[in-house]
Structures are given as structure tokens and as C-alpha cells.
């Protein structure tokens, strides 16, 4: 939802105390779990409702209210890059706390910044995702059912309905028993989680290899634009407990057993459960799988990348090369810390003794100097489907479906709109890189191809950071087109920054209603100004770019606004450009906006000036 910067954002202003109390009451009504564990104490004789006898150190309703909606809270409207409008509520220092979608909506959604607060209990049902997160979630793709953990143990899943908001968590740095919040989503699958699981079960019984499809839409996720609007607070780890309203009763516990206080580890296993369906891998099994992953990584490793720190080889090549046949519930067990070696340096030294690699130690760090490609272990190795390849296939399916859904929405909601499309083609020193990616330098391409070609290049050269998948390691070619002549080993940039630099190095044009023009397209700007005598006027500029005849538009405004509307040369522009602006009497932003929308100008190309 917030993968890109906001298209529009109003000024944020403090709300009245009465409005804050009303908003807080609505939030408590929508999320009663906030008040689940507050102490109940009698009122002192002759005292006010606030004068209660304290029983313990637990926060009161008033304390929770100040935490989730502090005094001085501000609100403002926004519009996402996809055209979704809403309202945002921030703390006095600008920390996003709550959002609602649509005008005057009474459904409030907590942000990741709010979930980072020391809340007494989780306000939302929780779904657990793997670590690292599926990379497609960072590109705006929906959440698929297959990415949710514990599907085979419904008693560990909350019974969430269609349209319900849920929190997303992921294991915290492999620490046993702890998770962290990573996002918030809304369930869109018909029938909710129960209906989605039933369809999945039916497909498996019938032998149909078909994914459930979109399960939930991502409302906000770590490292998105909404997260960056705030201070990016620390996400504290916590122990995951079984859901209050599970999808199914626990088959291993009697009805009198209390499961509400049993903590879960990141794989969803109950610490007090006596029967675990999935047994943890032994250190020997983990060591075997890591050895196979190392062989797979070395067979595809480019010798030009050597020498390479062992830590980079492990994170960027070995972990992504883990076999996809490892059950998803056990993949997080296949790490060096759970092997027989425990330490990466010890493992690398042992492999070096076998003659497979040559190493040296520099400043306490093991560095891979060379690989013996003729070693019998590599000669006898047979390739397999890796975890990284499986993730790429899932990501492509997710992106394809997301693009299909966006196209259907666009065709339905924007019928009659003026078709505006940004186009690009390779230019300058970056032509060689794009030709290597298979992009024709002689024709114009849609913006989506820039990202798709980059993703293919990243996948082909295995440049994704497996621990922080939003980061990309720079090889010499990618570093050069990003303006870094000789990247240091392990140097990386975020995908967003790489795309930004590639966009800056391309030649851009714009197609408006099928007519292609060179250069970037600037939106139509509506500016309200106060003239002498406190008279206000609304100035409209940028009409020529959208093939709107300025004089005809001024005449139309005279009729719609029942006032004067004149045409004058655009202030600050060169006379050679022959650009004009329309000056309309009064504050007429809404009427002018509606008129432009009727002419087919998309809302995101209409901007209110300062």
C-alpha cells in the first residue's frame, strides 16, 4: 500500500480534545483487546471515576489511551501512489499511529509504529511469516496463503474473517521463542482463513496443484514509505502465545488445559506440547544440508568474485542455495549455529583441509581465496531446486497476479480516463548494462520493464542479501551503472535506491492519449492566492501538457464557477514556450478538479500548489 511515496499529503493539524476522546472510544470499541488485561479497582468513597485504588503496576485504561493516542495527536489526509485516499493520525512529533482508508471512515488500522509501543497485549490477531520475509511483499504484492506458517496446525492460527485486520510477525534473528512485528494486513480471501484453508485442503485431496491466490493485502510493512515517515522505532521481540480465538481446538490438550499461557517458538511449536508433528533437525542433519548447499553455491559461484569474505559467501550464496525440498517448517533450522560446527570459521577451515577451497585469515576474518573446481565433491554434485529459486518463482507469480488485479481495477475504475504512460529507453554509459539485460536501446519501454529487467539481473547473478532482502549486493557492472566505479566487496544498496539511480540514467518520454512527447510530464497545478483587497483567485497551470485548450477551459470555468476567468502568460516561464495559466475568481479547487477529472485527467496528475 505504501511501497512508494505518497501522491498527495495535506498539512497535519492537532485535533480537538473532544475529537480525541471520541476517536479513542471508537478505537477501544474496535479493538477491545487493548483493555483485556487492565486492572479493575473500586472507586474511592466520594471520589471521582479516575480516583481508583491501585492494585498493581499494570497500565490503566487512561494509561493505554495516552500511549496509543497521546495528547496533541494530529491528523491529515493522504493519497497513495495507487490513488487510495485516507486519513492519518500522528503523534505530536509526527510518528504515524493510525490510518483509515476512504473518506470519513470509522475503521482505524494501527501502524507498525504503534505496534512497536510497549502494549500490554496484542491488539490484533497474529499471523506468523517465515524469516526472511518473502521478497514479493516488499514490491506491493499481496500475501499468499502458502507464506503463512502453521497451516497444518490450525489450533495455532486465529480464526480471522474476510475483511479483518491482522498483524504479521516473523522470527527474531533465529532466537528461540521470540518474534517481532513486521507488518499489518487485511484478509481478502472469501470465507477468511477458514475458507481459504478449506479450499486448499480440497485442492490437495483432488490432486490439484493450484495456489489459493490472494489471501491478504498488505496495508503496511517494515521499511515501506509509511515506516520511513516516522522515526523507525525499534521493534521489540516478544513471545508469541496461542490465539484467543483459534481456528480449531488443540487436539493434544484436554478441555481443562490452559493453552493461553503457553508460549510458541518462531516455528509455532508450543513449549509445553507433548506431541510435536515436526521434529527439529539434528545437528548432523543440519551439517549435511549445509554441506550440500555449499557445493550447490560453489558450482554457480563466479570465480571473478574471489577473494570473498566467508561471511558473504555464507549469507549471499550458501543460505540461498539450501534445498527447496527441506520442509518450510524446518528451513530456519538449517543455519550454522545449529550445525555440528556452530561457528562459520570452524566449518570453513574444515572444508579447506579437504582441499575444496583455499582460505586465509585477515584481521580475524576468514576469506575465501580460491575454489578447486576439479574437486571430486564438485564433480559428483547434482544440482537441485534451491530455496532462492523457489522464492523467485513465488515472487513472479505474486507480482503477475498483483499486476493483473491492478489492471482490472484500472480498466474498471478509469474507463474514459486519458491514458498517460511514462516511457523510457537506455541512453549514455548505461546502454551496455541494459543490452546485457536484453533491453532494446532503440525503442521506448514501459517503467515496469526497468524493474523486471533489474530483478532478472539480480536473480541471475545472485545479488540479493538473504538476511535483508530489500538490499542488493553490487557487482562491478551494477555498481558502475549506479555511479560506483569499483564497489567494495559486500557493498550493497536498497532496491529502491538502485531503481532510483537507474531511472536517473535513462531517457524518459511520456505518452498522452497515444501522443509521445520527450521529457518528464509535470502535473496540472492548482494554486490559491490572495490578491489585493483580500480577494482570492485559483490559478491553473500546466493544461497544455494534457492537450487542453487554455481559452476553452477558461470559458468553461466562467460558466461552472459563475465568475470571472481570464488567461494570462505563465508566471516565470520563458515567452518562447508560449505557456499560459487560467486565473479563476474565488477558491474553486474542487470545481476545477472535478472538471479536469471529467476531461480524463487522472487524479494523480492534479496537484494543489502552495
Ranges of beta strands (E only) in 94-213 are 96-101, 109-110, 126-128, 143-144, 165-171, 179-187
Domain range 283-385, its CATH number among 1.10.10, 2.20.25, 1.10.3470, 1.10.287: 1.10.10
DSSP 240: B
124-267 adopts what CATH topology? 2.30.130
Percent of the chain at pLDDT > 70 equals 85
Name the residue with cell 562459520: 344
- What does 114-142 look like in DSSP terms, one character per residue? HHTS--SS-SS-EEE--SSPPGGGGGTPP
Helix, strand, or coil (residue 529): strand
C-alpha cell at 246: 483459534
Residue pLDDT, tens place only, 320-359: 899 888 888 888 888 998 888 989 999 999 999 988 999 9
Query: What does residue 91 show for φ and ψ, rounded to 5 degrees?
Result: -70, 175
In angstroms, the Cα distances linking 279 to 267, 283, 329 are 11, 12, 10
Does domain 418-516 fall under CATH 1.10.245.10? My reply is yes
For 39-82, the pLDDT digits (tens) are 554 444 444 444 444 445 667 888 888 999 999 999 999 998 88
Best-predicted range by mean pLDDT (127-141, 219-233, 428-442)? 219-233
CATH superfamily for 523-608 is: SUI1-like domain (3.30.780.10)
Q: Which residue has the higher pLDDT, 141 or 203?
A: 141
CA distances from 325 to 100, 103, 306 (A): 41, 48, 29
The reported pLDDT for the residue numbered 181 is: 93
Q: Residue 239 — left, alpha, or beta (φ > 0 → left; ψ -120 to 50 → alpha)?
A: beta
Residue 54's Cβ-count burial label (10 Å; 0-12, 13-18, 19+) is: exposed
Structural domain boundaries in the chain: 8-111, 124-267, 283-385, 418-516, 523-608
pLDDT of residue 428: 85
Separation of alpha carbons 55 and 41, rounded Å: 7
Instruction: Please indicate whether residue 585 or residue 285 has the higher confidence score (pLDDT).
Output: 585
- State how far the Cα of 106 lies from the Cα of 117, in Å rounded to an integer: 23
469 touches 455 (CB < 8 A): no
Cα separation, 246 vs 239, whole angstroms: 17
Beta-carbon count within 10 A of 285 CB: 18
Beta bridge partners of residue 525, listed in sequence order: 541, 607
In angstroms, the CA 174 to CA 136 distance is 21
pLDDT tens-place string over residues 371-396: 998 888 887 777 888 888 887 787 67
Written as nine digits, the cell of 59 is 497500565
User: What percent of the chain clears pLDDT 90, i.e. is strictly above it?
Assistant: 20
Q: DSSP alpha helices (H): ranges in 301-373?
A: 310-313, 344-353
| 61 close to 52: Cβ distance less than 8 angstroms | no
3-state secondary structure 379-434: HCCCCCCEHHHHHHHHHHHHHHHHHHHHHHHHHHHCCCCCCEEEEEECCHHHHHHH
CA 518 to chain centre: 32
Most distant CA pair in the chain, distance? 90
Least confidently predicted of 11-20, 127-136, 153-162: 127-136
Q: Decide which of 139 and 486 is more confident.
A: 486
| pLDDT at residue 583, rounded to an integer | 93
Q: What is the pLDDT of residue 584?
A: 93
Please tell me the predicted confidence (pLDDT) of residue 88. Answer: 93
Per-residue model confidence (pLDDT) at position 258: 38
pLDDT at 112 over 90: yes
Residue with cell 509455532: 268
- Residue 288 sits at φ, ψ, to 5 deg, of -65, -45
**Helical (H) or strand (E) element with 370:** strand 365-371
DSSP single-letter state for residue 442: T
Cβ contact 384:121 at 8 Å: no
Query: What pLDDT shows up at residue 272?
Result: 42
What is the end-to-end Cα distance of the chain in Å, rounded? 26
Is the pTM here over 0.85, yes or no?
Answer: no
Rounded to the nearest 5°, which phi and psi values hold at 48? Answer: -85, 165
pLDDT for the residue 380: 73
Q: Highest mean pLDDT range out of 8-12, 96-100, 253-257?
A: 96-100
For residue 130, the model assigns a pLDDT of 81
Amino acid at each position: 500500500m505504501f511501497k512508494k511515496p505518497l501522491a498527495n499529503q495535506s498539512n497535519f493539524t492537532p485535533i480537538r480534545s473532544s475529537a480525541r476522546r471520541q476517536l479513542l472510544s471508537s478505537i477501544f470499541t474496535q479493538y477491545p483487546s487493548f483493555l483485556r488485561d487492565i486492572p479493575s479497582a473500586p472507586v474511592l468513597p466520594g471520589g471521582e471515576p479516575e480516583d481508583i485504588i491501585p492494585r498493581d503496576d499494570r497500565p490503566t485504561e487512561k494509561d493505554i489511551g495516552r500511549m496509543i493516542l497521546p495528547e496533541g495527536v494530529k491528523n491529515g489526509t493522504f493519497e497513495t501512489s495507487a490513488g487510495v485516499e485516507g486519513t492519518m493520525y500522528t503523534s505530536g512529533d509526527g510518528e504515524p499511529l493510525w490510518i483509515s482508508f476512504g473518506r470519513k471512515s470509522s475503521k482505524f488500522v494501527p501502524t507498525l509504529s504503534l505496534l512497536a509501543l510497549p502494549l500490554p497485549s496484542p491488539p490484533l490477531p497474529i499471523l506468523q511469516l517465515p524469516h526472511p520475509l518473502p521478497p514479493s511483499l516488499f514490491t506491493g504484492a499481496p500475501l499468499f496463503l502458502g507464506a503463512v506458517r502453521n497451516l497444518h496446525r490450525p489450533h495455532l492460527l486465529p480464526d480471522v474473517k474476510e475483511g479483518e485486520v491482522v498483524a504479521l510477525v516473523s522470527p527474531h534473528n533465529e532466537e528461540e521463542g521470540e518474534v517481532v512485528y513486521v507488518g499489518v494486513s487485511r484478509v481478502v480471501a472469501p470465507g477468511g482463513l477458514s475458507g481459504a484453508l478449506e479450499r486448499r485442503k480440497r485442492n490437495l485431496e483432488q490432486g490439484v496443484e493450484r495456489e489459493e491466490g490472494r489471501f491478504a493485502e498488505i496495508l503496511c510493512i517494515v521499511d515501506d514509505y509509511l515506516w520511513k515517515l516516522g522515526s523507525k522505532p525499534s521493534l521489540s521481540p516478544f513471545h508469541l502465545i496461542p490465539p484467543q480465538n483459534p481456528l480449531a481446538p488443540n487436539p493434544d490438550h484436554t478441555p481443562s488445559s490452559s493453552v493461553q499461557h503457553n508460549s510458541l517458538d518462531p516455528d509455532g511449536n508450543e513449549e509445553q506440547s507433548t506431541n510435536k508433528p515436526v521434529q527439529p533437525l539434528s545437528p548432523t542433519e543440519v551439517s549435511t544440508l549445509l554441506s550440500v548447499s555449499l557445493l550447490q553455491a560453489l558450482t554457480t559461484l563466479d570465480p571473478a568474485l574471489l577473494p570473498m569474505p566467508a561471511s558473504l559467501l555464507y549469507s549471499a550464496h550458501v543460505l540461498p542455495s539450501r534445498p527447496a525440498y527441506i520442509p518450510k517448517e524446518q528451513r530456519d533450522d538449517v543455519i550454522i549455529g545449529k550445525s555440528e560446527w556452530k561457528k562459520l570459521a570452524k566449518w570453513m577451515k574444515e572444508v579447506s583441509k579437504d582441499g575444496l577451497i583455499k582460505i586465509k585469515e585477515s584481521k580475524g576474518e576468514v576469506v575465501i581465496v580460491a575454489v578447486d573446481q576439479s574437486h571430486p565433491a564438485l564433480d559428483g554434485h547434482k544440482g537441485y531446486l534451491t530455496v532462492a529459486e523457489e522464492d523467485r518463482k513465488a515472487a513472479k507469480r505474486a507480482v503477475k497476479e498483483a499486476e493483473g488485479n491492478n489492471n482490472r481495477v484500472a480498466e474498471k475504475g478509469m474507463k474514459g480516463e486519458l491514458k498517460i504512460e511514462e516511457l523510457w529507453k537506455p541512453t549514455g554509459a548505461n546502454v551496455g548494462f541494459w543490452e546485457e539485460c536484453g533491453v532494446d536501446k532503440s525503442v521506448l519501454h514501459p517503467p515496469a520493464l526497468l524493474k523486471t529487467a533489474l530483478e532478472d539481473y539480480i536473480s541471475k547473478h545472485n545479488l540479493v542479501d538473504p538476511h535483508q532482502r530489500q538490499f542488493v549486493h553490487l557487482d562491478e557492472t551494477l555498481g558502475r551503472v549506479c555511479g560506483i566505479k569499483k564497489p567494495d566487496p559486500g557493498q550493497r544498496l536498497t532496491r529502491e535506491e538502485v531503481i532510483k539511480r537507474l531511472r536517473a540514467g535513462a531517457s524518459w518520454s511520456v505518452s498522452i492519449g497515444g501522443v509521445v512527447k520527450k521529457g518528464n510530464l509535470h502535473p496540472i497545478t492548482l494554486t490559491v492566492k490572495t490578491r489585493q483587497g483580500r480577494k482570492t483567485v485559483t490559478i491553473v497551470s500546466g493544461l497544455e501538457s494534457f492537450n487542453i485548450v487554455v481559452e476553452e477551459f477558461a470559458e468553461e470555468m466562467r460558466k461552472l464557477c459563475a465568475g470571472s476567468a481570464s488567461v494570462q502568460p505563465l508566471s516565470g516561464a520563458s515567452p518562447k514556450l508560449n505557456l499560459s495559466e487560467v486565473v479563476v475568481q474565488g477558491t474553486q479547487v474542487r470545481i476545477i478538479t472535478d472538471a479536469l477529472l471529467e476531461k480524463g485527467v487522472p487524479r494523480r496528475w492534479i496537484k494543489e500548489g502552495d
